[in-house]
Amino acid sequence: MKELDARIQATFPYALVDDAHLYVDLPVPERFAEDRKMNVFFLRICSGCCSKCAYCAIRKATGTITSRSPAAVTSSLMYGLNRGFDIVSIVGEDTGAYGVDIGSSLPELLLSLCGCPGCYRFRLHDVNPQWIRLYGPRLLDTLYAYSQRFEMLLFPLQSGSNSLLQRMNRHYYAEEVGEFFHRVHCHLPHVRIHTHILVGFPGESDKDFQCTLDFLDQHPYVWFSAYPFSPVPGTTAALLSGDIPRADVDSRMAQLPQERCL
């Protein structure tokens, strides 16, 4: 949780943080909104992670998932709304894991939060796409029922190659994520869909990378952040063979559709 706070404060130096609430004023990029200040309230719903992605050390740093109670999350939301915030960013290391430790789930929490009175919109961050398999239809039902409550979703794909996703220890297929994105876009065209792309993971072939380019080409409404692989000590990926030369990584980064790269 402290690591998440530090990351947000590094990005937004004027963030105000305490044990229960996190919020910040920040400018919105012109590509998304007019050039003005918007009030954004960062609503933390959980900390930690229950996944074991090969390249990531978050679980080692933060421990397994710890969810806040629905009542506590609702209380924090109302705190932000009562202070005049109209954009609510739902954050956590993996918000999709919310509730697995307390007998709840992200769809249940969102359904409850959407019923809170007020004029506000959600930005849902960092949902590991593996949770689409568990409750994708339920999540879609909530999004459809409260379509005007949402303005952004972030599901980090990492790669369009299923074989590379398996090597990363990511438990989903790119096609599943693409179908979910398609359904969201068809029913909620106003919602911005974001993802992450990891380039140069050990063993990534030209064919693997082409799968990522194909995924982005097939879903032209998806915005993404791309970053080159960098081995983290203590992770499985740091021990894998098949390092990609930096020149090849840079070349692949340059091939991504820059007009949609955040």
Domains of the chain in start order, with CATH, are 2-260 (3.80.30.20)
Closest by CA position to 217, among listed 187, 238, 197: 197
| pLDDT on residue 1 | 44
Which 8-state DSSP code applies to residue 96?
A: G
The sign of the CA dihedral 91, 190, 220, 135 is positive
- Does residue 34 carry a pLDDT above 70? no
**pLDDT over 50 (residue 35):** no
Residue 256 CB: number of other CB atoms within 10 A? 17
Q: What is the pTM of this model?
A: 0.86
Report percent pLDDT > 90 for the chain. 79
Closest by Cα among 51, 75, 74, 73 to 64: 51
For β-strands 66-67 and 87-91, DSSP reports them as unpaired
The average confidence (pLDDT) of the chain is 87
For residues 3 and 49, give the distance between their C-alpha atoms in angstroms, rounded to a whole number: 13
Whole-angstrom distance, CA of residue 235 vs CA of residue 104? 30
Structural contact between residues 168 and 129, judged by C-beta atoms closer than 8 angstroms:
no
Q: Note the pLDDT of residue 77.
A: 94
**In a 3-state reduction of DSSP, which class is residue 113?**
helix
- Given a cut of 50, is residue 29 above it in pLDDT? no
The three-state secondary structure class of 103 is: coil
pLDDT confidence of residue 60: 83
181-187 average pLDDT score: 98
Name the residue among 42, 52, 57, 46 with its Cα closest to residue 12: 42
Least confident of 47-56, 124-133, 173-182, 221-230: 47-56
Confidence of residue 9 (pLDDT cuts 50, 70, 90): very low
**Higher pLDDT, residue 172 or 84:** 172
Beta bridge partners of 223: 194
- Min mean pLDDT across 49-63, 89-103, 241-255 is at 49-63
- The reported pLDDT for the residue numbered 146 is 97
SS3 35: coil
- Determine the pLDDT at residue 33: 29
Supply the pLDDT for residue 20.
41
Burial 72-88 (b: 16+ CB within 10 A, else e): ebbebbeebbeeebebb
Of 6-15, 84-93, 126-135, give the lowest mean pLDDT range: 6-15
Average pLDDT over residues 169-175: 97
Pick the more confident residue, 155 or 59. Answer: 155
**pLDDT reading at 11 higher than 60:** no
Q: Kindly tell me if the per-residue pLDDT of 179 is higher than 50.
A: yes
Question: Of the candidates 102, 90, 6, which has an alpha carbon nearest to the alpha carbon of residue 45?
Answer: 90
Compute the distance between CA of residue 168 and CA of residue 37 in angstroms, rounded to an integer: 38
Which pLDDT belongs to residue 38?
A: 59
Q: Is the pLDDT of residue 79 over 50?
A: yes
Pairing relationship of beta strands 87-91 and 192-199 according to DSSP bridges: unpaired
Q: Which pLDDT score, from 0 to 100, does residue 110 have?
A: 98
Kindly tell me the number of DSSP H helices and DSSP E strands found in the chain: 9, 10
**Mean local confidence (pLDDT), 8-16:** 40
